[in-house]
C-alpha cells in the first residue's frame, strides 16, 4: 500500500509559523502594580487621600529577578478615572521612584514625560521604547526590584465627596501593554483592582471628635442641672 507523504515545503512553512508565535506562547506573565507617593498611602488596593490634597502614584512592573529571558522592547499605560469626578489626573513626574524601565528618565526627552492627559483629566496615556542609540530591548531580570513605568500626578477637589473612585487599566496594543523582543505582547497580570479612596483629613476627624466630646459634655451638664432643678422643686 502506498502511503502519501506530506509535502515537505508545507511542513516547513507550518514549523516556521509555529516558531514565529513561540515567544508569545512561552513567555511568562508580567505583574503590574501601583505604589503611592506621600501624602497618598496604600491600604490594600486603595490609594488613600483627602479632599484638597495633591499627590502622585507610580505604575510599575514586577520582574522575575535573574530571569534574563524577559526582554522588553516597548510598553504603554492607559489608566482612567470615572468621568466628571472630583479626582483628576494633572500630569506626570519627570522620572519614576523605582528605576525607570528604559533608563533614568523618559525616553522622549530628558525632562518631559512621554504621554498625554485627556481634556477632562480622567485618562492618562503613555508609551515608550528603548533609546535609538542603545539596545533594542531591556532585560527585566537586570533589575533587583520593581521597574518604574510611569509616575502620575493627581489632584482632589477641596469639596470632593468622600468615597471610592475606581482606577481602570485599558489593556490593548494601544493601551496598557508590554512587548518582547519579537514585538509580541506579554500577558499582563493585575493582582488587584485599584481605586482612589477619598477620606477626611486626620485633623478634621480630630476636630469633629473634639466638638462631639464638647457637645456631649454640654448635654450632660444640662441634664444634671435639670435633674437638680426638678429635685429641688
Burial class from Cβ neighbours inside 10 Å (0-12, 13-18, 19+) for residue 24 reads: middle
Would you give the distance in Å from CA 228 to the centre of its chain? 62
Same domain? For 218 and 111 the reply is: no
Answer for the pair 83, 120: CB distance below 8 angstroms, yes or no.
Answer: yes
Same domain? For 206 and 131 the reply is: no
Residue at 43 is within a domain? yes
Same domain? For 142 and 56 the reply is: yes
**What is the per-residue pLDDT for 10?**
42
Same domain? For 102 and 217 the reply is: no
Residue at 16 is within a domain? no
Same domain? For 177 and 218 the reply is: no
> Cell digits for 48?
488613600
Number of domains in the chain: 2
Same domain? For 222 and 148 the reply is: no
| String of DSSP letters for 82-145 | -TT-SEEEEEE-SS-SSPBTTSSS-TT-SSS-S-EE-TTS-EEEEEE---TTS-S-EEGGG-SS
> Cell digits for 170?
485599558
What domain range is 217 assigned to?
A: 201-233
Residue at 9 is within a domain? no
Residue at 5 is within a domain? no
Same domain? For 225 and 110 the reply is: no
Residue at 123 is within a domain? yes
Same domain? For 209 and 192 the reply is: no
Same domain? For 102 and 120 the reply is: yes
pTM, rounded to two decimals: 0.72
Same domain? For 123 and 222 the reply is: no
Same domain? For 102 and 174 the reply is: yes
Residue pLDDT tens, the chain, 233 long: 454 544 544 433 433 343 343 344 335 578 999 999 989 999 989 999 999 999 999 999 987 656 667 888 889 999 999 998 899 999 988 778 888 888 754 444 443 446 789 999 999 999 888 876 666 788 887 787 888 898 999 999 999 999 999 999 999 888 999 998 888 999 899 888 999 999 998 654 444 444 445 555 555 666 666 655 555 45
Amino acid at each position: 500500500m502506498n502511503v502519501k507523504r506530506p509535502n515537505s515545503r508545507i511542513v516547513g512553512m507550518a514549523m516556521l509559523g509555529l516558531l514565529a508565535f513561540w515567544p508569545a506562547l512561552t513567555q511568562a506573565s508580567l505583574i503590574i502594580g501601583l505604589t503611592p507617593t506621600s501624602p497618598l498611602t496604600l491600604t490594600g488596593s486603595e490609594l488613600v487621600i483627602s479632599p484638597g490634597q495633591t499627590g502622585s502614584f507610580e505604575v510599575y512592573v514586577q520582574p522575575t529577578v535573574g530571569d534574563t529571558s524577559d526582554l522588553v522592547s516597548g510598553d504603554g499605560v492607559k489608566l482612567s478615572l470615572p468621568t466628571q469626578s472630583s479626582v483628576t489626573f494633572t500630569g506626570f513626574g519627570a522620572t519614576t521612584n523605582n528605576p525607570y524601565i528604559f533608563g533614568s528618565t523618559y525616553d522622549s526627552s530628558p525632562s518631559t514625560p512621554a504621554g498625554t492627559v485627556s481634556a477632562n483629566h480622567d485618562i492618562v496615556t503613555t508609551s515608550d521604547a528603548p533609546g535609538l542609540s542603545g539596545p533594542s530591548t531591556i532585560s527585566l531580570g537586570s533589575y533587583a526590584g520593581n521597574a518604574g513605568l510611569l509616575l502620575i500626578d493627581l489632584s482632589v477637589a477641596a469639596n470632593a465627596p468622600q468615597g471610592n473612585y475606581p482606577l481602570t487599566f485599558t489593556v490593548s496594543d494601544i493601551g496598557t501593554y508590554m512587548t518582547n523582543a519579537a514585538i509580541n505582547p506579554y500577558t499582563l497580570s493585575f493582582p488587584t483592582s485599584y481605586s482612589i479612596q477619598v477620606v477626611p483629613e486626620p485633623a478634621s476627624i480630630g476636630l469633629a471628635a473634639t466638638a462631639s466630646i464638647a457637645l456631649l459634655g454640654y448635654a450632660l451638664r444640662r441634664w444634671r442641672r435639670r435633674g437638680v432643678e426638678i429635685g429641688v422643686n
